Each structure stands twice: as structure tokens, then as C-alpha cells.
Amino acid sequence: VSLWAIRDRENQIQQLTESVTTLTQRCEQWETQTTSHTEVITTLERDLDTERQGRLAGEQEISSLHGALAELEDALGKERSKANERDREMYELHQTITTLETTITEERGRFE
């Protein structure tokens, strides 16, 4: 084997070693970036879950408030019915009082 062939082989080995070193560095950089991206993704997923839980809690509260509103509307309807019934009773009492007053006035007129 000639000296030139040995030197050529050494140069090839040196170039391959440098290439391997460069590729190793790139891999380490990519791993670092991948780790960083994974952490960002994990944080975003956690934030998204938190937002979903908040939205779900809000939807449940809205549903609960709708239920409470329906109950209040029902109670209001019942109170209105009671008030209307009392108004009718008051009207009938007023009519009765008016009739009695008229009768009293007529009876007084007969005795005078």
C-alpha cells in the first residue's frame, strides 16, 4: 500500500469523523428543539384542557341558571294567578258592597 493511499484513507476518515461530529451536533440541536417544542405542546394542551374545563363549568352554570329562571317564571305565573283571583274576589266584594249600600239607601228612603 502506498503512502498516498494511506494519506488518502486518513483524509477520508478525517472527513467522515468531521461529518459524524457535525451530524451528532445537529441531532443534539434537533433533540433540544424537539424537547422545547414538546414542552410548548404540553403547555398548550394543558391550557386547552383548562379552557375546556372552564367552558364546561360555565355551560353547567348557564344550564343551572336556566333551570332557576324557569322555576322563577313558574312561581311568578302562580303568583299572578293568585293576584288575579284576589282581584276577582275584591271586585265581587266591591259589587256586593255597592249592592248593599244601594239597598241601605233604598231602605232609608222608605222609612223617611
The dihedrals phi and psi of 47, each to the nearest 5 degrees, come to -60, -40
How many Cα neighbours within 13 Å face the side chain of 40?
6
The model's pLDDT over 53-104, given as tens digits with 9 standing for 90+, comes to: 999 999 999 999 999 999 999 999 999 999 999 999 999 999 999 999 999 9
How many Cα neighbours within 13 Å face the side chain of 93?
6
C-alpha cell at 106: 233604598
How many angstroms separate the CA atoms of 25 and 31, rounded?
A: 10
At 99 the pLDDT is 96
Query: Which stretch of DSSP H or E encloses residue 28?
Result: helix 3-111
Q: What is the pTM of this model?
A: 0.51
